[in-house]
Structure 1
Amino acid sequence: MRKKVLATVLFALLSGSAAVAQKLQFTEYDLSNGLHVILHQDKSAPVVAVSVMYHVGSKNEDTARTGFAHFFEHLLFEGTENIKRGEFDKIVSSNGGQANANTTQDRTFYYELFPSNQLELGLWLESERMFHPVINEIGVKTQNEVVKEEKRQRLDNQPYGKFTYEVFRRLFSAHPYRWQPIGSMEHLDAATLAEFKAFFKKYYVPNNAVLSIAGDIDIEKTKGLVKAYFEEIPKGAPVAPVAVTEQPLTHEIVDTVYDANIQIPAIFAAYRIPGSKNHDSKVLEMISSILSGGGSSRLSKKMVDEKKNALEVAAFNYALEDYGAYITLALPNNNASLDSLLADIDAEVASLQKDLISESEYKKILNQFENNYVSANSKMLGVVENLANGYTFKKNTNDINEELDEIRSITREEIRDIARKYLVKTQRVVLYYLPGKE
Structure 2
Amino acid sequence: MKRTFNLLLLFCMSIPVFAQQVEFTEYDLDNGLHVILHQDNTVPVATVGVMYHVGSKDETEGRTGFAHFFEHLLFEGTKNIERGEWFNIVAANGGSNNANTSQDRTFYYETFPSNAIEIGLWMESERMLHPIINQIGVDTQNEVVKEEKRSRIDNAPYGKVAYATGINKHLFKKHPYKNSVIGTMDDLNAAQLDEFIAFFEKFYGPNNATLVVAGNFEKNEMKKMVQDYFGSIKSKPEVKRVNIKEDPIKETIVKTEYDSNIQIPLKVHVYRIPGMSHRDSYVMSMISSILTDGKSSRLYKRMVDDEKVALQVLAFPRPMEDYGTYVMGALPMGDTPLDKLAEIMDDEVEKLRTELISEREFQKLQNKFENRFVSSNSSIQGIASSLATYNVLYGDTDLINEEIEIYRSITREEIQEVAQKYLQENKRLDLDYLPESDKEQK
| TM bin (shorter chain) | over 0.9
Following the alignment from structure 2 to structure 1, what is the Cα–Cα distance between the partners of residues 123 and 169? Answer: 37
- Residue in structure 1 matched with residue 268 of structure 2 by the alignment: 268
Q: 1:42 aligns with which of 40, 43, 49?
A: 40
The corresponding residue for 2:360 is 360
1:133 aligns with one of 103, 108, 131: 131
The equivalent residue for 1:114 is 112
Deviation by residue 1:163-190 (Cα, 9 ceiling, x = unmatched): 2111100000000000111001111001
Distance 1:254 1:395 in 2: 36
- Partner Cα separation in structure 1 for residue 235 and residue 298 of structure 2: 51
- Per the alignment, residue 424 of structure 1 pairs with 424
8 A contact 2:9–2:94 mirrored in 1? no
Give per-residue Cα distances to partners, 1:346-372, cap 9 Å, x unaligned.
Answer: 111100011100011001011111111
The structural deviation recorded for 1:277 is 1.1
Aligned equivalent of 1:73, options 71, 85, 99:
71
Alignment of 1:206-221 (within 5 A): 206-221=206-221
Query: What's the secondary structure of 2:156's corresponding residue?
Result: coil
Question: In the superposition, relative to structure 1, how do residues 20 and 344 fare at CA in structure 2: closer, same or farther (>3 Å)?
Answer: farther
- Equivalent-residue separation in structure 2 for 1:176 and 1:297 (angstroms): 34
**Aligned amino acid, residue 218 of structure 1:** E
Q: How many residues align?
A: 431
Matches within 5 A, 1:66-105: 66-105=64-103
1-side partners of 2:9 and 2:90: how far apart? 16
Q: 2:9, 2:112 within 8 Å by CA — same for their partners in 1?
A: no
Q: Distance in 2 between matches of 1:16 and 1:301?
A: 35
Please report how far the alpha carbon of residue 10 of structure 1 lies from its aligned counterpart in structure 2 after TM superposition.
Answer: 5.0
**C-alpha deviations, 1:115-150, integer Å up to 9, x for none?**
000110000010000001000000000000000000
CA distance in 1, matches of 2:314, 2:143: 34
C-alpha distance in 2 between matches for 1:327 and 1:162: 13
AA in 2 matched with 1:34: G
CA contact (8 A) 1:158 1:261 kept: yes
State which drifts further: 242-251 or 333-342. 333-342
The superposition leaves residues 366-409 of structure 1 with CA deviations (integer Å, 9 ceiling, x where unpaired) of 11111111111101111011111111122211011111111100
The 5 A counterparts of 1:7-406 are: 12-21=11-20, 23-163=21-161, 164-406=164-406
Q: Answer yes or no: is the 8 Å Cα contact 2:9–2:96 preserved in 1.
A: no
- The 2-side partners of 1:166 and 1:425 are apart by 19
Q: How many angstroms apart in 1 are the aligned matches of 2:394 and 2:305?
A: 40
Cα distance in structure 1, aligned partners of 2:78 and 2:9: 30
Q: Is the 8 A contact 1:308 1:334 kept in 2?
A: no
Paired with 1:383 and 1:112, the residues of 2 have a C-alpha distance of: 13
Q: Counterparts of 1:16 and 1:71 in 2: how far apart (Å)?
A: 32
Which SS does the other structure have where 2:76 is aligned?
coil
Q: Whole-Å Cα distance in 1 between the matches of residues 89 and 228 of structure 2? A: 20
**C-alpha separation between the residues in 2 aligned to 1:403 and 1:234?**
34
CA contact (8 A) 1:28 1:37 kept: yes
Matched letter for residue 379 of structure 2:
K
For structure 1, which segment, 189-198 or 158-167, has the greater mean C-alpha deviation from structure 2 after superposition? Answer: 158-167
- Partner letter of residue 29 of structure 2? L
Quote the Cα distance in structure 2 between the aligned partners of 1:92 and 1:363.
Answer: 45
Q: Which runs of 5+ in 2 are unaligned?
A: 1-5
Contact preservation (8 Å) 1:155, 1:161: yes
Deviation at 1:45, TM superposition (A): 1.3
Q: 1:281 to 1:242 in 2, by over 3 A?
A: same
The farther-off stretch of 313-322 and 67-76 is 313-322
Q: For 2:83, what is the secondary structure of its paired residue?
A: coil
Tell me the CA shift for residue 11 of structure 1.
5.9
Within 1, Cα distance between the matches of 2:308 and 2:322? 37
C-alpha distance after superposition, 1:313-361 (max 9, x if no partner): 0111111000000111110012111010011111111000111000110
- Distance (whole Å) between structure 2 residues aligned to residue 19 and residue 81 of structure 1: 41
Contact between 1:207 and 1:236, CA under 8 Å: does it hold in 2?
Answer: yes
Equivalent residue number for residue 3 of structure 2: none
Q: Displacement, 1:12?
A: 4.9
Matched residue, 1:3: none
Equivalent-residue separation in structure 2 for 1:241 and 1:128 (angstroms): 26
What amino acid sits opposite 1:434 in the alignment? L
**Matched residue type, 2:338:** L
How far has the Cα of 1:20 moved from its partner?
3.6
Q: Are 2:47 and 2:111, in contact at CA under 8 Å, matched by a contact in 1?
A: yes
TM-score, length of structure 2 as denominator length: 0.96
In 2, are the aligned partners of 1:16 and 1:47 still within 8 Å (CA)?
Answer: no
Contact 1:174 1:246 in 2 (8 A): yes
